[in-house]
Amino acid sequence: MLPFFFWVGVMKAAHRYILTLTCPDRVGIVAQVSELIASVKGWVTEANYHSDQETKQFFMRNEIRGDSISDQVDAFKTRFSDIAAEFNMQWALHDTAEKQRVVLFASKASHCLNDLLHRWHNGELDCMISAVISNHESLRRMVDWYDIPFECIPILPEAKATGFDQVAQALTRLQPDAVVLARYMQVLPTSICETFSGRMINIHHSFLPSFMGANPYQRAFERGVKLIGATSHYVTEDLDEGPIIEQDVSRVSHRHETKDLIRLGKDIERVVLARAVRQHLEHRVFISGNKTVIFD
């Protein structure tokens, strides 16, 4: 008999279709969607929905067993299009068998990048990492160990535009579904931010909106805070102000120096970024203005 952990792994890796939708809130949405899924013998394994009273928007996420509708996917999409038109929906049916392509960015700090690579290597992140792009060579050997392409594109102070043109060209060539900035210490130009709107995830080493920008741990130490944190958010052209996906904190005291805050903060950064990436890959995050709705 196979051990319990094997069966858990099999269950988590099972083929699924993930239906996501958002639309103006009104009566009958859940009933119509559920009736259609049932009519094609769809086996729902997880169902979530939320009605936002402020924006009057409705959000829904359903997981459906792949083997229950695999022979009717096209018909399901055709029929669902009629419902979408009736309710003015933005919707998608995501096939988990189609791995999302992810490009990771990093500079010199290795902790977030190494954590993501390790989780991917162990199967915790269900995606294909197409490449790691860095503005320094220092992380090449670590990335090589994972047998992932590493591209060094320097961003020189006197030639930033040239460097970012090369970054844009690399992203055009790689065509990622998502981009993750794992402590990439460069401010990307607006054009790249707009191209990957809602698909570019950053980790900031403070509990936003506190201590935006550079040197947040030093500024937190000087302010004498009792909590430090990390924030993962979607990237926009406004620095550190994109919709927040995940946050966490750690308690500190007067005994801690800046170096202690940095050490404790790195642990939070790793976990917060990994959670955000996983939630994004599993289509659990819905952007609503400058906020997010997350079905965890």
CATH number at residue 227: 3.40.50.170
Q: Which domain holds residue 88?
A: 4-95
Mark whether 79 and 203 lie in a shared domain. Answer: no
* End residue of a domain, out of 72, 95, 118: 95
Task: Decide which of 62, 95, 128 is a domain's last residue.
Answer: 95
Q: Are residues 278 and 164 in the same domain?
A: yes
User: Considering 80, 95, 110, which residue would you say is the last residue of a domain?
Assistant: 95
127 and 79, same domain (yes or no): no
Nearest one of 108, 116, 164 to 137, comparing CA atoms:
108
Q: Are 60 and 24 in contact (CB under 8 A)?
A: no
What's the CATH code of the domain at 46? 3.30.70.260
Q: Do residue 122 and residue 204 come from a single domain?
A: yes
CB atoms within 10 A of CB 271: 15
Residues 91, 136: one domain?
A: no
For the chain, how many structural domains are there in total? 2
Q: Are residues 269 and 193 in the same domain?
A: yes
Q: Are residues 91 and 113 in the same domain?
A: no
Q: Is residue 108 located within the same domain as residue 63?
A: no
Question: Which candidate in 52, 144, 240, 248 is catalytic?
Answer: 240
Confidence of residue 217 (pLDDT cuts 50, 70, 90): confident
Q: Domain check: are 132 and 148 in the same one?
A: yes
Whether 241 and 110 map to the same domain: the answer is yes
Per-residue CA distances from 164 to 49, 153, 180, 186, 214 (Å): 40, 8, 16, 10, 20
One domain for residues 179 and 250: yes
| Same domain as 50, residue 8 | yes
Tokens representing 109 are 């700090």
Known catalytic residue at 71: no
What pTM did the predictor assign?
Answer: 0.92
In the chain, the percentage of residues whose pLDDT exceeds 90 is: 80
Percent of the chain at pLDDT > 70 equals 96
Per-residue model confidence as pLDDT tens digits over 2-30: 444 434 443 456 899 999 999 999 999 99
